[in-house]
Amino acid sequence: MKHNILKIFGLISLFFLPAFFTACGPSAKQREQQAKEDSIRLDRERQELLERAGTMIDSVKVELPDTL
């Protein structure tokens, strides 16, 4: 009897918990807005990295030997 109750509870949990967590998540509009914000943030970070890399390359002085 106890084993059957656990099986029934397990089946109910199997079906309702995913639905519950899906319903509690962000809406499609919120996910789209978050994706836009993430894209803007990543683009900004990429630009900063490119600027830093350019500054680092510009700061390196290459001195060629006079024997060439």
Structural domain spans, the chain: 26-59
pLDDT score recorded for residue 20: 77
Helix, strand and coil in the chain, % to nearest 5: 80, 0, 20
Strand ranges inside 1-68, DSSP E: none
pTM summary value: 0.50
Would you state the pLDDT for residue 41?
97
Please give the chain's pLDDT, 68 residues, in tens. 667 888 888 888 888 887 777 777 788 899 999 999 999 999 999 999 999 888 777 776 677 777 65
